[in-house]
């Protein structure tokens, strides 16, 4: 009788676990059960997003230059946040030499920059076309000193 009770309990346990789906799958394996996505906060991206446009462009030009790419004078207005790619924020920016770059910003402040023309060859998402650059607002002229 004791063996029958144990066998019934084991069968119930196995049936219950089977109903839960594949709970022992390794991370990254294909499963049919819905998986919860965990999103890590990306503070460097949030800070860049909060900046006014002119300072955001300064941050992006620094990232482009520090990774050995050429951006002669400035990043044109209207850099675009394209979304996330593998846990990194993806921005696109065009320099005044008409080269367009993808800037990946990781939550740990690592930055990777790729030329947009190389993205498909590298298996990365294509850069979206950037909107037409709107000119910077005119700077106020200095008033001549009264004298």
Task: Confirm whether 1 is domain-assigned.
Answer: no
Total structural domains in the chain? Answer: 1
Task: Confirm whether 123 is domain-assigned.
Answer: no
Grouped pLDDT means (10 residues each) for the chain, 147 residues: 45 42 48 68 90 91 92 85 93 90 94 94 90 64 67
State residue 78's pLDDT score: 80
Task: Confirm whether 80 is domain-assigned.
Answer: yes
Task: Confirm whether 99 is domain-assigned.
Answer: yes
* Alpha-carbon span 67 to 24, nearest angstrom: 41
Is residue 74 a contact partner of residue 56, using CB atoms and an 8 Å limit? no
Task: Confirm whether 129 is domain-assigned.
Answer: no
Task: Confirm whether 5 is domain-assigned.
Answer: no
Task: Confirm whether 111 is domain-assigned.
Answer: yes
Task: Confirm whether 15 is domain-assigned.
Answer: no
State residue 137's pLDDT score: 61
With residues binned 3-state (H G I as helix, E B as strand, rest as coil), the percentages for the chain, rounded to 5, are: 30, 20, 55
pTM: 0.64
Pairing of strands 100-105, 80-85: unpaired
State residue 118's pLDDT score: 94
By residue range, what is the domain housing residue 88? 43-118
């Amino acid at each position: 009788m004791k063996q029958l009770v144990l066998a019934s309990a084991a069968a119930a346990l196995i049936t219950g676990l089977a109903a839960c789906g594949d709970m022992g799958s390794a991370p990254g394996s294909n499963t049919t059960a819905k998986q919860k996505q965990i999103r890590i906060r990306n503070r460097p991206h949030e800070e860049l997003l909060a900046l006014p446009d002119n300072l955001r462009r300064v941050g992006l030009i620094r990232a482009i230059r520090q990774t050995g790419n050429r951006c002669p004078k400035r990043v044109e207005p209207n850099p675009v946040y394209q979304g996330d790619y593998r846990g990194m924020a993806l921005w696109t920016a065009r320099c005044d030499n008409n080269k367009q770059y993808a800037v990946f910003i990781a939550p740990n402040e690592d930055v990777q920059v790729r030329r947009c023309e190389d993205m498909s060859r590298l298996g990365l998402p294509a850069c979206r076309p950037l909107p037409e650059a709107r000119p910077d607002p005119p700077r106020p002229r200095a008033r001549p000193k009264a004298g």
